[in-house]
Structure 1
Amino acid sequence: MIFDETHEQFRATVRDFMLREIEPNRDRWREAGMVDREAYAKAGAIGLLCTWAEARYGGAEIGDFRFEQVIIEENFQRGDSGFYIHLHSNLVAPYIAKLGSDEQKERFMPGIVSGDIILSIAMTEPSTGSDLAGIRTRAVEDGDHWVLNGAKTYISNGILSDLCIVAARTDPNDARHQTLFLVERGMEGFERGRRLTKMGLKSQDTAELFFNDCRVPKANILGEVGQGFKYLTRFLAQERLVASCAFIATAQAAFDLTLDFVKDRRAFGRAIGAFQNSRFKMAEMRAQLDMCQTYIDQCVVMHNSGALSPEDAAAAKLLSSEIEGRVIDECLQLHGGAGFMDEYRISRLFTDTRVDRIFGGTSEIMKEIIGRGLGLDERKMA
């Protein structure tokens, strides 16, 4: 078993938090277009943010990613998909913890762990998606500052965040000469655009960000100048593993909803689940979910030991997002007309998860990474 008694005790605590503090707010947050700031503070108060962080910053120094996996699974199954606790703790905070100076960590990490500082990361631009080398936002050195100009879009936590890691080109002649900047709420020249209207994830505050002669102190450079592209690619394996944990948890939530539905809903005098088609569909989905979950669990074990490769992470992201899409589509179909009604959670899961085959690297990009790992690289085979 991947989880032992300690993990399961922790899961019970996380589940209680999600059911008590997050799930009851789903509808209100969807209407508001964002979650309450207090959700992060409440999570931080019971130690659910950055469990891996050092004790001097308020963390528990847990080096076992399975505890973070538990938080991700419980949030996506019983909390709210727009509560991006995983982005905060597992995608953005590690950049600061691993690349930040002692001064930066002392300044930011306590608030990150407590939930008083909410995080975001800005890579995607209006003209670029998965191509990090296509970034056009520029930063120019000016005394003890860098002057940042450009625009970012589709930024999760774009409205709520207090601290945003921004990737910008710092050499006009080299697309991969990029630097990461810590841009704080209220900095001159930093403006937030509109909260974007989306197909799904209604409670996730996705926004545009604009930098108009934004002056960022050199003290807010994250890591080394010119190494941003390397840093972004270095953290992608964990990002894709985090996404995979979320995707399979969401698919499991859809399966559980549907299993209850087909047992209770009746047609032609018997439960829908009694029909052979329903049994076969549910059986097929059960097998797919178990297979994918086993692979993701193994990837978590590999990640704990530092052995998770970019190809394995890409495979996990590809499989989990594609299986999630198929499972939720089948689950909606088994709900019949009810599946098209917004009052049923399956309808919201369908729209919330369509983006999962796009962000964090599209399915097509994942196939490229896996294929090149097999030695099928046209640049090397020409």
Structure 2
Amino acid sequence: MDLESMYGEELEMVRETARAFLRRRVEPRLSELENGTDERFWHDAAEAGLLGVAIPEDEGGAGADPLALCVISEELGRSPAGATLGSCLNADMCTMFLIANGADAQKQAWFPGIVSGDVIQCMALTEAESGSDAASIRTTAKRDGDHYVINGAKTFISNGFKSHLMYVLAKTDTSKRGRGMSMFLVPADSPQITRRLIPTMGFPAGDTSEIFFDDVRVPVENRLGEEGEGMKMFLPVIALDRLQICARSLGAAEAAFRMTLEHTRNRKIFDQRLVDFQNTQFVLADMETDISLGRALMRDAISKFRAGTLSDADSSILKIFMPEMEFRVLDKCVQLWGGAGWMDEMTISRMFTAARVQRIYAGATELQKALLARRYMNADLEII
């Protein structure tokens, strides 16, 4: 069974929509989007039905299977636009928190703007001293009557500079670690918030930012869920987030392989096509094998996710393999492109740079290995 048939007919329609949107609305405008996304981009995405896809129909959304986020991410990885845009469309992961934990008033306030593209979202979690170790965040939210007062700083925040709605994780009880954190819906135009755009190695339109909170007052009704439940909210979403990142890795690896195969068939050196050399053939075979293994892992993960049996270990194994596989494939592709692969104007070059960060965010490779390793200490636990 191929990956497309595993997603199902409904999600294949989402795939076609995402592919058409990227080809017709985004790829022709890539030079315009070099310095960041604009209102037109977000409204075009909304018009295509690619924002708030999992919001229930009776609340103004498409009511799609949450795996639609994986399909969109896969197509973003496959498109030349992906290496420019970064993970901006993946901001819809934020919506999953609001769907699952939001009060009716919160949903009514924000869902319409999310679906229309008027509200850009960001997840303000990472801090300079706490990336993979989310429980060590230092941003605080202290109760003051009918408000919380937020102080702290977040960094490496995707969509952070242009966002309208921030999902801010902060400590409401500093005596506890994970159980002392709460999540807040913070309008980006709140007084005492400042932001700084951070230049990055790749994703020129990706909008990666620092956000500073200096006595930012947030009404109690802006707290998402109960106090102390901020970290708990992440658990159901983490698996889906890793899935969509790994889907992007698969899409990018497949696209890069196809581009490079075509290049080796057309490129001539020493009066032979590049593909005629045995070394080239072996490198291509290694890439195809890697991609095929990745596709099989994704197929298994999708099946388990739908059945509700995708374990933390399954999720970590997937997050270890897929971005590393993508990077291996892109590295080989650049080598086969030679000097052209080093030029920033070449799609393959940008895809290579984009592949690097996949191994870091949403839990770096090393963190995933450490999570797996915890199980090895338990002699009573059957691993394989």
Aligned to 2:27: 23
Per the TM alignment, residue 311 of structure 1 is displaced from its structure 2 partner at its CA by 1.3
Distance 1:80 1:321 in 2: 15
Give the 3-state SS of the residue equivalent to 2:82 in structure 1: coil
- Give the structure-1-normalised TM-score: 0.93
Give the 3-state SS of the residue equivalent to 1:186 in structure 2: coil
Number of paired residues?
372
Per the TM alignment, residue 189 of structure 1 is displaced from its structure 2 partner at its CA by 1.4
Give the 3-state SS of the residue equivalent to 1:343 in structure 2: coil
Distance 1:303 1:189 in 2: 41
Give the 3-state SS of the residue equivalent to 1:18 in structure 2: helix
Give the 3-state SS of the residue equivalent to 2:367 in structure 1: helix
Aligned to 2:63: 61
Match for residue 12 of structure 1 among 10, 13, 16: 16
Indicate if the aligned counterparts of 1:57 and 1:113 stay in contact, CA closer than 8 A.
no
Distance 1:77 1:261 in 2: 17
Aligned to 1:333: 335
Aligned to 2:321: 319
Aligned to 1:146: 148
Aligned to 2:99: 97
Deviations 1:253-286 (CA, angstroms, capped at 9, x unpaired): 2112111111111100011011101111111111
Indicate if the aligned counterparts of 2:158 and 2:209 stay in contact, CA closer than 8 A.
yes
Aligned to 1:37: 39
The farther-off stretch of 251-260 and 208-217 is 251-260
Match for residue 243 of structure 1 among 239, 242, 245: 245
Cα pair distance change 1:191/1:343, threshold 3 Å: same
Cα pair distance change 1:16/1:27, threshold 3 Å: same
Aligned to 1:380: none
Give the 3-state SS of the residue equivalent to 1:28 in structure 2: coil
Distance 2:182 2:144 in 1: 15
Aligned residue type for 2:247: C
- The reply on whether 1:187 has 2:190 as its aligned counterpart is yes
Match for residue 369 of structure 1 among 368, 371, 375: 371
Aligned residue type for 2:94: V
Distance 2:358 2:65 in 1: 27
Give the 3-state SS of the residue equivalent to 1:183 in structure 2: strand
Per the TM alignment, residue 56 of structure 1 is displaced from its structure 2 partner at its CA by 2.4
Q: Which runs of 5+ in 2 are unaligned?
A: 380-384
Per the TM alignment, residue 151 of structure 1 is displaced from its structure 2 partner at its CA by 0.4
Cα pair distance change 1:24/1:270, threshold 3 Å: same
Give the 3-state SS of the residue equivalent to 1:51 in structure 2: coil
Aligned residue type for 1:87: N
Distance 1:83 1:146 in 2: 33
Q: Mapping of 1:175-214 within 5 angstroms?
A: 175-176=177-178, 177-192=180-195, 194-214=196-216
Indicate if the aligned counterparts of 2:54 and 2:96 stay in contact, CA closer than 8 A.
no
Distance 1:107 1:216 in 2: 15
Match for residue 291 of structure 1 among 289, 293, 311: 293
Aligned to 1:87: 90
Q: Mapping of 1:113-152 within 5 angstroms?
A: 113-152=115-154
Indicate if the aligned counterparts of 1:87 and 1:120 stay in contact, CA closer than 8 A.
no
Aligned residue type for 2:189: G
Aligned residue type for 2:76: N
Distance 1:5 1:190 in 2: 44
Aligned to 1:276: 278
Root-mean-square deviation (CA), in Å? 1.7
Distance 2:350 2:221 in 1: 43
Aligned residue type for 2:117: G
Indicate if the aligned counterparts of 2:297 and 2:318 stay in contact, CA closer than 8 A.
yes
Deviations 1:345-380 (CA, angstroms, capped at 9, x unpaired): 111111122111111111010111222244559xxx
Give the 3-state SS of the residue equivalent to 2:30 in structure 1: helix
Give the 3-state SS of the residue equivalent to 2:32 in structure 1: helix
Per the TM alignment, residue 10 of structure 1 is displaced from its structure 2 partner at its CA by 4.0
- Give the structure-2-normalised TM-score: 0.92
Indicate if the aligned counterparts of 1:26 and 1:80 stay in contact, CA closer than 8 A.
no
The farther-off stretch of 48-57 and 333-342 is 48-57
Give the share of equivalent positions with the same residue, in percent: 37
Deviations 1:26-63 (CA, angstroms, capped at 9, x unpaired): 23322x1x112322221222222232211123222123
Aligned to 2:269: 267
Give the 3-state SS of the residue equivalent to 2:55 in structure 1: coil
Distance 1:9 1:138 in 2: 43
Deviations 1:50-80 (CA, angstroms, capped at 9, x unpaired): 3221112322212362x33322221221232
Per the TM alignment, residue 310 of structure 1 is displaced from its structure 2 partner at its CA by 1.5
Cα pair distance change 1:209/1:6, threshold 3 Å: closer
Aligned residue type for 1:18: L
Aligned residue type for 2:110: F
Distance 1:358 1:265 in 2: 34
Aligned to 2:382: none
Give the 3-state SS of the residue equivalent to 1:279 in structure 2: helix
Cα pair distance change 1:4/1:103, threshold 3 Å: closer
